[in-house]
Structure formats: C-alpha cells, structure tokens
Structure 1
Amino acid sequence: MNCVFVTGTDTDAGKTLVSSALLERLGEGGLRTLAFKPVAAGAVKTAVGMRNSDALQLERAMSCRGVSYEQINPVCLEAPVAPHLAAVTEGKKLAVEGLHGDYLRLCEHDHDVILIEGAGGWLVPLNDEETLADFATKVNAHVVLVVNMKLGCLNHALLTAADIQRRGLKLVGWVANQAQLTTMALAEENQAWLTKYFAREHGAPLLASIPFQQTADALRVASYLPASQALISVLQGNTDF
C-alpha cells in the first residue's frame, strides 16, 4: 500500500480535515508521507501564484519536504465551483492522463505513502467523459470514505461504496464526521447501521467518529484515529486493528 485516496459523500464532508489527520497519524509512525490534491477549485491569488487553502493544509500535514506547491496541487482553479466548469472558464482542460502524469512526477520523491484528496464527491466530473473516480481507478488507490453524518448520508454512502467496489477498488475504511453544528436525528443509530454494513459488504472498518469541530485542528482529530501502526495495517487492507 502506498496510495490512499480520500473521498467524501459530498462537498464539505470533511475530506481535508480527515486527510490531514491521517497524514499526521502516519507521520507519527515514522512514515514518509506525501499529499496530492490533483484538482482544487476555490483559490486566491498570492505573490507566488494561486493557492488553495485545502492544499496548503495538506502540505503542512505531510512529512516529506522539498516538494513544491505545484507538485502537490498541479491544477489550482480560482472559482469555488465544480472543477470542470471552473477549468472551462479559465481555458484549461482536465483529463485523467494529465493528472496521472502529475502523480507520477510526485512519486519520484522518496516516500512511503501518497495520500490523495479528491474534490467534492466521488464522481465529480473532470470533463464530459471522465470523473475524478477514473483517476483513482487509474492509480489503483485504496479508498477511505468520509461520511458527512446528516440526513441522506446513508444513500450517499452506499452509492459511493457501490461504485468504488464496481471499479475493483478496495474501500479500506470509513470515517463518520459531524461536519455541521446540528446533530442529525438518530445519529448513533445511523452510524451503527453503516458500521455493520461496511464491515459486512466491504470489510471496511470505522476508523473514527469525529464530533463537530468548531475550529479545524488536524492534530486533535488525529487522536480519534487508530494508532500509527494499526492505521497503516488497515490502510493496507487488513480489517483488524
């Protein structure tokens, strides 16, 4: 296992917070970690170019150094809209092949694990024919699913997991994240149902149940995850930790 793709049930599910926490936890175990945010939509102009706050957070959380921002986030789009639409507005074309080339160049750095954070949900389009899920398939990533615990999350989670499985990828674990202040009705019952379902149908354990975070803190959230060695094991596809 050296490639983990973090996806979510929808936009603002908590992918960046969970991805950063995973990087922090893996780093605690001595692993050399790289982060890859292939496409980011929603950025600001700085003196050194366009910068996306999620990609910057991932850069801070990874343990490898000497890697440029552009290698971590090769496609940085200004408008906070669907990436394929933002790309058209900026006269750019997104494609799996191009992102794969960016990924291979990042892989040239010494590392143990590359953590890839998606954009939006699992099937966010790149163009008229391809989605970011096609990129995850191209790199044969193990997948971690962040479920935003709100009304409708069961349907979103099951549909996402079904497509991951259909593509022949391994869902290695999931995270229950309370992304909004108001807790959904029967939250514990919904989480318990998903825990049983993912274990039975995908062999994917619950990695963490994260309460609402008033201020995002990857180090604090990392404490909800399994210890480093156990986390490494489960990300490799082992169900016991």
Structure 2
Amino acid sequence: MTKSIFITGTDTEVGKTVISCGLIKALQLQMAGRRVNGYKPIAAGAEQSGDHLVNEDGIAIHAVSSGKLGYSEINPVVLEQAIAPHIAARLEKTPVDISLMTKGLQQLKAKSDFVVVEGAGGWHVPLGEHHITMSQWVVEQQLPVLLVVGVKLGCLNHALLTAEAIKASGARLIGWVANVLNNDRQISDLNIQYLRDTFEAPCIAKIPYQAQLNPQSIANHFSLNELVCKM
C-alpha cells in the first residue's frame, strides 16, 4: 500500500519545497530500492517551457523523484501568476480543476511506494470559488500532515494557529520541521524548545540557519523513524 504525506507551512516562503525535496531524498535513502516521488498538485507562478507552463517548485520536486515521470504527473495544475491560486485562476480565466489534482495523486500513487505532497502557501489557502481550500482537499484525500515552521519572529503564534487549524479541519498532524530563518541562535533554540514541549507531534528535523539548501544536505537532518511509525 502506498504511503503519502502532505507538507504545509506556517506561511509562504518558509521552505516547504526545500523540506519536501530533502524529505524525498531522506526517504529514498531509508527505503532503498523503493519508489519515492514528490507531488505538487497546484502551483502558481510559472514560465513557458515548450508548449506548457512549468513552476520552479515543481521542477525541483520532479528532479528528485524516483520515477521517470512527465512534468504534468508531478504538477498537474499550473497557473502563470505568482499569487494566491484562486486569484490567479480568476485573472487567467482558468478555473482550478480539483478533480485533476485528485486524479493525478491517485495515478502517482499507483507508480510509487511513497508520495510526498507539497501544498501551496499555508494550510487554508483558497483554491477557487465557493471557498474551496487546500485544507479541504487534504482532508478528503486523508493525507497525514507535516508542518514546516519558519523559525523567525512571530513563528510561535503562526505555528500554534496552524496546528490548531489542522486539527480543527479533521486532519492529522504527525510531525513538524523547524526551518531556522533567524541568525539569533539563542532565540531560535528557545522557540524550537517551546514548540517541542507544546506539540504532541515530533520534530523530525531542525534545519540550521543558512544551511546548504540542496536535497542531499537537507536529507541528512531528518530523523524518520518516529514519523514513519505514525504513517
């Protein structure tokens, strides 16, 4: 049975893609010989490549995935403008096809032993009209959640609110990652310790400030045993 996990963040620009790629690499190392692929169901902010749009995050996830997959298998819904997906869809007159996101995930699961699904923006990012959100889609797909906390000023409030929202949505938070974005080590360590003491879910990685942001180096910071046990 294919396992999967959804990566969300306390905000945009907190390192979801870097963490997603690092987690894919870490799982590939731990699950030698198994197919670990990434999935970016929807991305906003793209450039033309040949006859189709490609997104920077989707390209990164595609590059580290195990299978020989086409770009659209990794990122089926792509919007050109780098703004909230529902706004980009409205301006581009291209409604978000949520059924395509779902179909893509099911097809990728059939080719994978483990799928790392990266969200767009934060937990409740809107996807289209009628107040449809990414969080609703995650709950419908029954994906367990990994939260990326951008450790900086204000992170405690953002992290606690996001964890509360995940639980209220009916999803299951099974782990979190501390991605340190502040060069004040003492304050960062105190923030991380507070969240360790507060969250029931384990911290499975701490990414140091200005760490080498490539998938292989990020993979070395993960401790996966507790996470995999919760899947």
Give the TM-score taking structure 2 as reference length.
0.91
Which residue is equivalent to 1:139?
Answer: 141
Matches within 5 A, 1:94-109: 94-109=96-111
1:63 aligns with 2:66: yes
1:164 aligns with 2:157: no
RMSD (Å) for aligned C-alpha atoms: 1.9
1:235 aligns with 2:225: no
* Unaligned residue ranges in structure 1 (runs of 5+): none
Please tell me whether the aligned partners of residues 5 and 136 of structure 1 are also in contact (alpha carbons under 8 angstroms).
Answer: yes
Which residue is equivalent to 1:207?
Answer: 204
Deviations 1:116-154 (A, max 9, x none): 000011110012321111111111011100000111111
Please tell me whether the aligned partners of residues 7 and 122 of structure 1 are also in contact (alpha carbons under 8 angstroms).
Answer: yes
Cα 1:132–1:236 shift into 2, 3 Å: farther
Please tell me whether the aligned partners of residues 180 and 188 of structure 2 are also in contact (alpha carbons under 8 angstroms).
Answer: no
| Rounded Cα–Cα distance in structure 2 between residues aligned with 1:154 and 1:184 | 16
| Rounded Cα–Cα distance in structure 2 between residues aligned with 1:79 and 1:185 | 38
- Shift, 1:98, TM fit: 3.7
Q: Secondary structure at the match of 1:120?
A: strand
Q: Which amino acid aligns with 1:57?
A: A
Q: Secondary structure at the match of 2:199?
A: helix
1:45 aligns with 2:48: yes
Matches within 5 A, 1:68-147: 68-109=70-111, 111-128=112-129, 129-147=131-149
Q: Which amino acid aligns with 1:235?
A: V
| Rounded Cα–Cα distance in structure 1 between residues aligned with 2:162 and 2:54 | 29
What percentage of aligned pairs have identical amino acids? 36
Which residue is equivalent to 2:214?
Answer: 217
Please tell me whether the aligned partners of residues 95 and 126 of structure 1 are also in contact (alpha carbons under 8 angstroms).
Answer: no
- Shift, 1:194, TM fit: 0.3
Give the TM-score taking structure 1 as reference length.
0.88
Q: Stretches of 4+ moved more than 6 A in 1?
A: none
Q: Which amino acid aligns with 2:164?
A: A
* Unaligned residue ranges in structure 2 (runs of 5+): none
| Rounded Cα–Cα distance in structure 1 between residues aligned with 2:144 and 2:165 | 13
Q: Secondary structure at the match of 1:144?
A: strand
Q: Which amino acid aligns with 1:35?
A: G
| Rounded Cα–Cα distance in structure 1 between residues aligned with 2:36 and 2:222 | 17
